Amino acid sequence: MLTSRFRNLAPLTSSSYSSAAVEDASGGASNGVVSSSNYTDYEEDEASLGAGYRVPPPEIKNIVDAPPVPALSFSPYRDKIIFLKRRALPPLVELAKPEEKLAGIRIDGNCNSRSRMSFYTGIGIHQILPDGKLGPEIAVTGFPDGAKINFVSWSPDGQHLSFSIRVNEEDNNISKFRVWIADVETGEARPLFQSPNVYLNAVFDNYVWVNDSTLLVCTIPLSRGPPPKKPLVPGGPKIQSNEQKNIVQVRTFQDLLKDEYDEVLFDYYATSQLVLVSLDGATKDIGPPAVYTSMDPSPDHKYLLISSIHRPYSFIVPCGRFPKKVELWSADGKLIRELCDLPLAENIPIAFNSVRKGMRSIDWRADKPSTLYWAETQDGGDAKVEISPRDIIYTQPAEPLEGEQPVIFHKLDLRYGGISWCDDSLALVYESWYKTRQIRTWVVPPASEDVTPRILFDRSSEDVYSDPGSPMLRRTKAGTYVIANIQKESDEGRYIILNGAGATPEGNIPFLDLFDINTGKKERIWESEKEKYYESVVALMSDQEEGDLNLDQLKILISKESKTENTQFYLVSWPEKSLVQITNFPHPYPQLASLQKEMIRYQRKDGVQLTATLYLPPGYNPSTDGPLPCLVWSYPGEFKSKDAAGQVRGSPNEFPGIGPTSALLWLARKFAILSGPTIPIIGEGDEEANDSYVEQLVASAEAAVKEVIRRGVAHPKKIAVGGHSYGAFMTANLLAHAPHLFCCGIARSGAYNRTLTPFGFQNEVRTLWEATNTYVEMSPFMSANKIKKPILLVHGEEDNNSGTLTMQSDRFFNALKGHGTLCRLVILPHESHGYSARESIMHVLWETDRWLHKYCVSNTSDVGEDHDTGSVKENDNKGTTDAESKVVATGGGGSKEGSDLEYGGFHSLPRSSLW
């Protein structure tokens, strides 16, 4: 499937469990104590430093408060486009609503959905005219004012939109989801169910179109009563046992079930009744109430692939590892057969590429009416077991003849990674192996047993320069996506189109290659304009008709952007490759429209080539303005080769997306920003990368700092370092082991003591007991006594990311304070691993801006000096806690006066997926 890098493109079924999107009409915070600030405000007395939520200076605040552009989604036949309208940051009151933390997920009991869901505020429909331009907007109407819209999807024929809405019911504060239908031609919307008492259960799957006029909906059972009450007196102790001496190693999962009451509560919220409902309102309950997790109709609409989870549950792993049953039903809900019933999977090894035993990745062949396929491991799911084959892929008709066994489709020696189907003569099968970074693509002819499968591509996943691209997919009449066959005039070759990122030493130059699958010959038929713009292919737009696509009639959707021009979308039509612009979004932050951006390359002392993106404020001239304070913001990565680590990723012409907590916000405060300098941790061959983590980390940082100083853009005494999650871990380690490089640090939502994540973290698969020295040496907690530079710690109080418990920052702060380090800890109530509420985000920006001013902009100390006195005379026993924020600070040793998950980064706004 094609992954889009554009945050304003919505998937065909649009939902999100990220931050909600609402604020008051004035654009300000709707609750909490707020105040604005400038540099002079930072000279406040100690008592005021913990008084309520703060707002950063207008230069930053105005960028964060800018209204977001709408999300887009195209109709199945590419003749219409909808604009999904959204608002800016949500108020804290949205996050403060009660939530149940059960089985690794968080549930909003009032909505009976995942908590903290974002939503849309309106839907606008546009016809795509014959000349490619958009017709006038048809607004979807009929739902209540203030409704929050989720789960937007097109009917297979493109005539209707389905979506859910929720509105607050003041009498009982219940805001459950109802499913609505809108006519695409008129925009008129109405409830799908005639009964007002039918609500959507959106804890797992929600609903799916079975055909043009029927939906299958997960509903809250009508017979369900009020939530179960927790007994005042427990029925017994909480007991876990391993008397069978099983080896069970799990990472530090959070929000797990704790007791029998949690199990009952999980069943209460997660149990659904499946209902078939037609557009005329007729309904039919199918199947018994159960915890259904997915519903997948067959391409011919005759069958349903239904997955559910059931007891016994677990107290040590999340619900994704609970016992899982997969069944085949007829389209009207009759059970045909059980495909598998997998047991509880508590003992999946922690090594990468380890998987669950039994059938997995069960799905429908996209090129067939109703043929199933799946993979089964041959190594017991343990990546450490050497065996051939490692995975086998099977296929089978939905209703096999009596005695008919599954057919072996292909055998793999690496781990199965998916299939792109085309037809009976072509399918592309993917396999990979993390430890070696090997990734292979096989050509398999599904209906030709006498034709031997062959390897099409065999490369390192780290080697982005060798990436040939992915096949362009086209939509079938059944609504599935298959590899597009391309016809070339007077040519009998078998052609597909490869869509590639086009990584080069000069940056990414996306491309389309016409690729002969039989001969391997390539012809470049489109390439991004590389002098000023960055263009990228988003989707195929000429797939309305069945059969092969004629190259001369090809039409694609691309995005186009530059360093100073924000992303717009265009239609490109062959043979002239003419462009028609279909969006005209305003610049989100015109005050930074002329910022300066450059991709730079430099070298680590061991010869590894490094890259970074250097941003400079609008109008800045290093020769006349002199060096600036500089913020280095990064996130380490692990590699198996020095060559791969040195490859350029990204484009110098990409528009700088500035998210609400992005380091680029400080361009508005006249900082130089070194964004994403590569911090490669390399373990070649049998070497373990983390065994030399500190040395490589420091060497990479030294090279980056040396480069910005050499360029004359960064003042050597005024370079700060920061990061989120694993980037926060990096920040703390750099302040401990490279104090000569940075004047201060900002560490958000990090993990600092690796003994608290004993069964692996990030890309480390050895346990604490297997690599004790590595765990200890990598932990900045163990080097707290070495940290002398000011460090700001920020953490969400409800962090649910594996490994980054809030306790990590609490204990690290106490360790720092115990050694007299100048430090400050900010705990954000109701926030998780990433921050969502406007009050929280504004306060984090205020804290960061204050920290950078006091300990970077105003720093006059020698770079490597240990500071014995400080201007911030805060009593470490007077940490303030109030209803809005919790801030603890200590001034043990400050500078003189005047001076992105454990498994993912926290950089700019997230990019969503398209189809």
Identify whether 799 is a catalytic site residue: yes
CB 729 within 8 A of CB 737: no
Which residue has 């059931």 as its token pair? 310
**To the nearest 10°, the Cα dihedral for 102, 108, 113, 118?**
-120
CB atoms within 10 A of CB 254: 20
Strands 596-603, 628-633: pairing is unpaired
For tokens 């998210």, the residue is 659
Query: What is the residue-wise DSSP string for 686-716?
Result: T--GGGGHHHHHHHHHHHHHHHHHHTT-EEE
DSSP secondary structure code for residue 777 in this structure? H
Sign of torsion over alpha carbons 502, 504, 508, 509: negative
CB 539 within 8 A of CB 914: yes
HEC assignment per residue over 127-147? EECCCCCECCCEECECCCCCC
Classify residue 483 as exposed, middle or buried by CB count within 10 Å of its CB (0-12, 13-18, 19+).
Answer: buried
Residue 272's identity, in one-letter code, is S
Indicate which residue of 205, 367, 799, 900 is catalytic: 799
Cβ atoms of 277 and 215 closer than 8 Å: yes
Strands (E), 365-453: 371-377, 391-397, 407-412, 415-423, 426-433, 438-444
Contact 345, 358 (CB under 8 A): no
> What does the alpha-carbon distance between residue 601 and residue 649 come to, in Å, rounded to a whole number?
11
Helix residue ranges, H only, 818-860: 838-852
Q: Following CA atoms 127, 130, 136, 139 in sequence, which dihedral angle do they give, to the nearest 10 degrees?
A: 0
Q: How far is CA 222 from CA 284, 291, 321, 376, 596, in A?
A: 13, 15, 28, 38, 59
State the Cα–Cα distance between residues 255 and 801, nearest whole angstrom.
9
What 3-state DSSP class applies to 627?
coil
Cβ neighbours, 10 Å, residue 273: 21
Catalytic pick among 73, 562, 725, 912: 725
β-pair type (533-540, 522-527): unpaired
* Catalytic annotation, residues: 725, 799, 833
